[in-house]
Amino acid sequence: MAQLRQDYEKFVKLDTEILVAGPENAEAFKNYWEKEKLPFVGLPDPEHKVLKLYGQEVKIFKLGRMPAQVMIDKSGKVRFVHYGHSMSDIPENKELLVLLTP
């Protein structure tokens, strides 16, 4: 999430909102967002409803949920999906920004 914070203004300039869903409860999310001063939206999903809806994988031997990034346009159409194979398998911001640039 730190990498998204670094380029947050670039995403905003491309009329893009960042929403991070995670399996923690609302209090844990609130505490983390305040501590890290994250400028984007955090969605607590302790029952994993949103995470399952978008196909985020759980791999017990790799310590839990694998990273997943999904770009959804304003009409609700999924435009990009990346499912990580490890906790460090996350696309760089520049790759995402290129996809968003008209």
pTM: 0.79
Number of helices (H), then strands (E), belonging to the chain: the values are 5, 6
Per-residue pLDDT of the chain (102 residues; tens, 9 = 90+): 788 999 999 999 999 999 988 888 999 989 999 999 999 999 998 888 888 888 776 665 555 677 788 888 888 888 888 888 877 888 999 999 999 888
Specify the 3-state DSSP secondary structure of 82. strand
Per-residue pLDDT, 44: 92
Task: Show the beta-strand stretches assigned E in the chain.
Answer: 19-22, 41-44, 58-59, 64-65, 68-72, 78-83
- φ, ψ of residue 89 to 5 degrees: the values are -85, 80
Q: Could you give the number of structural domains in the chain?
A: 1
Domain region containing 83: 2-100
CATH of the domain at 89: 3.40.30.10
pLDDT of residue 51: 81
Say which residues have a Cβ less than 8 Å from residue 76's Cβ, sequence separation at least 6: none
Give residue 48's pLDDT.
83
Bridge partners, residue 22, by sequence:
44
Q: What is the pLDDT of residue 95?
A: 93
